[in-house]
Amino acid sequence: MLEIHCEVSTVWSSAGVGPLGFIKFKVNTAVCQEMLEHFMLPSSDKLHGDADFIFQQDLAPAHIAKSTSTWFNDLGVTGLHWPETSHDLNPIENLWTIVKRKMRDTRPNNADELKAAIEATWASITPQ
61-115 tens-digit pLDDT? 888 899 989 998 998 888 877 766 665 666 677 778 888 999 999 999 988 898 8
CB atoms < 10 A from the CB of 63, how many?
21
pTM (predicted TM-score): 0.65
27-66 tens-digit pLDDT? 888 988 888 888 888 888 888 888 888 887 777 888 889 9
CATH fold of 7-123: Nucleotidyltransferase; domain 5 (3.30.420)
Parse the chain into domains and list their residue ranges: 7-123
Q: Is 115 exposed, middle or buried, given 0-12, 13-18 or 19+ CB atoms closer than 10 A? A: middle
CA 14 → CA 17, 44, 81, distances in Å?
8, 12, 19
Amino acid at 54: I
